Structure 1
Amino acid sequence: MSDLVFTADDLALTRFAVSPMWEVVNSFRLLAAGAPHPVHQPWLDQVRPRVASAGLDTGRLAELLPPERAYLPDFLTPFPPVPAPTLAEELAAIRSTPADQVQADLDKLGTPVARPLRLPRLVEEIEAYWDLAIAPYWARVKALLDADVFHRARQVAERGAAHLFNDLHSTVSWDDNTLRLVRRQCALSREATGPGLLLVPSVFAKRVLTWSRPPAPPQLAYPARGTGALWERRPAERAEAIAAVLGRFRTRLLTELDAPASTTELARRTGTSAAGVSQHLTALRDAGIVSAHRAGRSVLYARTAVGESLLTLS
């Protein structure tokens, strides 16, 4: 068990952040485990072949994030100074990590690293993984993470911080100004951390994970609520109304993008030429309703947050 004692100042400095890099490390570990998953199987089935085809399953991330190790190198999840850092901002922080901190994390990892670790090359690999595995799904993932933060903030406003902590996860509890974490692989204490606490929801986290590097506040990444329904096909409640504006075929394409798909796949599903599908997708992309992501020789199209909100009532 780890005990993190709080003063009034620590509580005042507690906040949330949504971190792209926490999703990178947690999702990569899920992929590397190679096991089926009751929630994320649709994502695993779509992403695993792309990652393997790009050779990312045997790259530097695979060395740094072995699924059998409980420890995650801290420099891969730099402290977010803002509530919603971009991937580019977090990668810049990784790229500027001092060499002695990187080596200390590698020593703590305990896994032999066969090749010298060059941070610019690692950042390129992370970007490639992001484009294949996270970016096409980011609108949906981030909407769930934002919803979790909103829910937790309301908990604090309506019932106080103690209720928030006690509801966070079964391995986390609050008592006597102390946050207690059970079954922790790495000890977490106030003496070894900075003030406050950063709470980071993650759709790919299987358990609570912690990060500590003074003088920054400790990070606590936890499984986001609602993840169980993340990959369920969502009913398009407003499809008829949207069709009156966008046209039936473009609305059909939008509904087909419940999961990211290529032009060829969408042409096959809709019985239309790839050229015709491409023309309509370009119009939707220019309007900010879909996004395009390079995946090897193909381009995957995905609904943006705007596209998601158009089709659903939530």
Structure 2
Amino acid sequence: MLRFHFTSDDLARVRIAPGADPMWETLLSAHLVNELREVRTFGVWRSRVVADLPRLALPYLHLTPPRGYSPDFLTPADGTTDFADGLDGVLFTHRDRLRTDIDRLCEQKDVSTWASDLRDGLVKAVDGLGATMSAYHAHAIEPYWARIRAAVDADLMVRARVVAMSGVEGVLSSLHSTVTWDAPVLTIDNPTVDRDVHLTGRGLRLVPSYFCWRKPMTFADPELEPVLLFPIEHCVSLVGAPGADQRAPLASLLGRTRAAALQALVQPATTSGLARRLGASLASASEHATVLRRAGLIRSTRCGNQTSHELTALGHGLLSGSPA
């Protein structure tokens, strides 16, 4: 069991990441690439990634075994929504942290000469880390990033509603089926771990993750900023072939952009979120949403100064080609 012990100050300092963290998604996706058994939800994505994986990406996979420990420094503790910023954080890791984390990795597996050089903070090895992480991210994450981000954004909208209705303790109670909130302790059912994390006023940062697939997880080092990664719900076909145009049958009926808007709302979004997904202006996204709503394909809900949009049964049916 993994147990987080809260004080009243910690409850006041619970916060949720503003979006998908590319460093965590990169790391956790690498666990899946290294995984020998099939994981159905990610099967299409994994087969495409593995089929033509660049050689330059392989050293990164050496640092990210599917079981056990992966170096904490690969996911900077302060979090980010931008890969370039996150990579800078990794490459500027203090040498003591590199040594500690690589030594811990060595306890469970043999490491390459390159990883040993990385442990010592050698400039060539650190530069190589930047190159291999960039190569892996460009191949396995970047082509799918819009869909990954959209799925995480949809989860964040759900969490925001829970906060509005039930407060922070409502969020803690509904994170995942393996999580139990019995104040003041948050318990994650994990038979491979027996650990207590005392937050001592530091709070807890919650990070919804697309590629976190077994159960919630955190840093191995309890001295780092307290973070809890938790899996979001998935649409199995969400991450498919990059560039695949699934909207073609709808384009002649609705128009290309409006068909794209309907497809984008497979995961609910605010008007501004829809604009980001379409690469359109806020006014344009609002206009498309209005037309889709009048056609009965989406429903819109006002919450404060934002409007959230989601597909109706008719909208889902039109996308799937099935009757509502």
Is residue 12 of structure 2 the alignment partner of residue 4 of structure 1?
no
- The match for 2:95 is 99
CA shift at 1:195, angstroms?
Answer: 0.6
Is residue 180 of structure 2 the alignment partner of residue 177 of structure 1?
no
Q: Is the 8 A contact 1:39 1:231 kept in 2?
A: no
Q: Is the 8 A contact 2:23 2:83 kept in 1?
A: yes
Alpha-carbon distance in structure 2 between the residues aligned to 1:235 and 1:112:
47
Q: CA RMSD in A?
A: 3.3
Please identify, of 104-113 and 172-181, the stretch whose mean Cα deviation from structure 2 is larger. Answer: 104-113
Which of 29, 33, 37 aligns to 1:31? It is 33
CA shift at 1:197, angstroms?
Answer: 0.7
Is residue 236 of structure 2 the alignment partner of residue 224 of structure 1?
no
Alpha-carbon distance in structure 2 between the residues aligned to 1:47 and 1:107:
29
Cα distance, 1:187–1:143 mapped onto 2, change above 3 Å: same
Q: TM-score, normalised by structure 2?
A: 0.69
Q: Specify the code of the residue in structure 2 equivalent to 1:71.
A: Y
CA shift at 1:120, angstroms?
Answer: 2.1
CA shift at 1:241, angstroms?
Answer: 5.8
Alpha-carbon distance in structure 2 between the residues aligned to 1:143 and 1:136:
13
Q: Specify the code of the residue in structure 2 equivalent to 1:94.
A: V
Give aligned pairs, total: 256
Alpha-carbon distance in structure 2 between the residues aligned to 1:245 and 1:185:
48
Cα distance, 1:153–1:12 mapped onto 2, change above 3 Å: same
Q: Specify the code of the residue in structure 2 equivalent to 1:131.
A: A
CA shift at 1:119, angstroms?
Answer: 2.2
Structure 2 regions of 5+ residues with no counterpart? 119-124, 265-275, 299-309, 311-324
Alpha-carbon distance in structure 2 between the residues aligned to 1:108 and 1:221:
21
Q: Specify the code of the residue in structure 2 equivalent to 1:70.
A: G
Cα distance, 1:183–1:237 mapped onto 2, change above 3 Å: same
Which of 153, 157, 174 aligns to 2:164? It is 157
- The match for 2:69 is 71
Secondary structure at the counterpart of residue 181 of structure 2: strand
Q: Specify the code of the residue in structure 2 equivalent to 1:219.
A: V
CA shift at 1:78, angstroms?
Answer: 0.7
- Residues 31-68 of structure 1: CA distance to partner in whole angstroms, max 9, x if unpaired? 111332211111112211121xx1256x322221122x
Cα distance, 1:193–1:76 mapped onto 2, change above 3 Å: farther
- The match for 1:145 is 152
CA shift at 1:217, angstroms?
Answer: 2.8
Q: Is the 8 A contact 1:56 1:62 kept in 2?
A: no
Alpha-carbon distance in structure 1 between the residues aligned to 2:157 and 2:178:
22
CA shift at 1:24, angstroms?
Answer: 0.5
Which of 211, 222, 243 aligns to 2:255? It is 243
Structure 1 regions of 5+ residues with no counterpart? 259-303
